[in-house]
Amino acid sequence: MEYKIISDTGMNVSRIAQGTWAIGGWMWGGTDERESIRTIHAALDQGINLIDTAPVYGFGVSEEIVGKAIAERGHREKVFIATKVGLEWHDGSITRNSSPARIRQELQDSLRRLRTDYIDIYQVHWPDMAVPIEETARTMHALFKEGLIRAVGVSNYSPEQMNRFMSVSELHTVQPPYNLFERQIEGDVLPYVRKKNLSAFAYGPLCRGLLTGTMQPDTKFSGDDLRLSDPKFQPPLYAQYLSAVQQLDELAQERYAKNVMDIAVRWVLDQPGITTALWGARHPEELEAVAGALDWHLDADALAAIDQILRQKIASPIGPEFMAPPANNAVAA
């Protein structure tokens, strides 16, 4: 495993983290608790020491499974738990809420579900325009000072929102979407991360499975699977993305004797500013592929060839905006 320090914290986190949205089941067609726990144990066995979760993943289920898996294994102190705050749910629909009262309440709920008395990295999940960012930041700063959280993070924030946040609180980590097919952060968030020496956790490095090389033209999704609402998985875009995957796979094999999944994750890890890629595995055997992304680098020629494939194959790249939860209607100053 490769490791990297989160600036100003001394936390030496693995560059591949276990992402646990799918483990919560919601929007991923359900979950299996024992299989999920086996997956988390397999991640720890591989040297992964960072687990990313959120209350909203399965409405508590993901955090509970993470808590149980760590308790069964023991050595809580060897694992970095990254969880989130600021989304509430009612009858399956989500709204943003980063008010101080909500943050305090959610922290207690997360500590209970995770069976711990501190959170290593606490991240505001989505910006909430109904609450002044400074108010949210002040509460996060207070939790940090109280020792309840060891690092402060935000997710899906713009540089302007981070500027406001940092006028009141320390900020250590940023969690944006980032993968070969979703590169919007290169225009703003990633340069900001570098300039401010923050640590970025890239979510969706496999583009929800699209970059694994296992998706077929006739792959079907069912139930509440979010890929049913992801435009990349619908015609006519799906065929373009699959064609790009095939060419990327050929490039990986010819140049490095690797596959598309290996270069997709290596590409994320090689971008300056990226600390960690959050890998959304939910079966232990899916983590066997982690080794293929580690301990090598893409050279400049390969990076240029990758960009050329993307330009040729994908006429109008689209981002992950479809995932954004509805904004709270009220707008704060």
Nearest CA to 256 out of 213, 299, 200 is that of: 299
Report phi then psi at 35, rounded to 5. -65, -40
How far apart (Å, rounded) are the C-alpha atoms in residues 197 and 172?
A: 8
Q: Which of 86, 273, 280, 292 binds ligand NAP (CB under 6 A)?
A: 280
Binders of ligand NAP: how many residues, by CB under 6 A? Answer: 25
- Minimum distance, C-beta of residue 201 to ligand NAP, in the bound complex (Å): 8
Give the C-alpha distances (Å, rounded to integers) separating 88 from 52, 63, 84, 126, 223: 18, 15, 11, 11, 22
Q: Which is nearer to ligand NAP, 88 or 301 (CB)?
A: 88
> Looking at 289, 314, 318, 327, which residue binds ligand NAP (CB under 6 A)?
289
Q: Which stretch binds ligand NAP (CB under 6 A): 208-216, 232-240, 241-249, 297-305?
A: 208-216
63 or 306, CB closer to ligand NAP?
63
Q: Which is nearer to ligand NAP, 96 or 313 (CB)?
A: 96
Cβ of residue 308: shortest distance to ligand NAP, in angstroms? 23
Residue 186's H or E segment, with its range, is: none
Residue 206 lies near ligand NAP (rule: CB under 6 A) = yes
CA distances from 169 to 117, 151, 166, 190, 247 (A): 22, 11, 5, 20, 45
Q: Does 153 bind ligand NAP (CB under 6 A)?
A: no
Q: Is 67 in the site for ligand NAP (CB under 6 A)?
A: no
Q: Which residue is nearest to ligand NAP (CB)?
A: 280
Question: Hey, is 130 helix, strand or coil?
Answer: coil
Q: Which element (helix H / strand E) includes 310? A: helix 300-313
Q: How far is the CA of 131 from the CAs of 98, 127, 169, in angstroms?
A: 6, 9, 16
Could you confirm whether 122 is annotated as catalytic?
A: no
Which token pair is 132?
A: 């002044």
Report if residue 155 touches ligand NAP, rule: CB under 6 A: yes
Residues that bind ligand NAP (CB under 6 A): 19-22, 52, 125, 155-156, 175, 203-209, 212, 214, 278-282, 286, 289
Residue numbers annotated as active site: 57
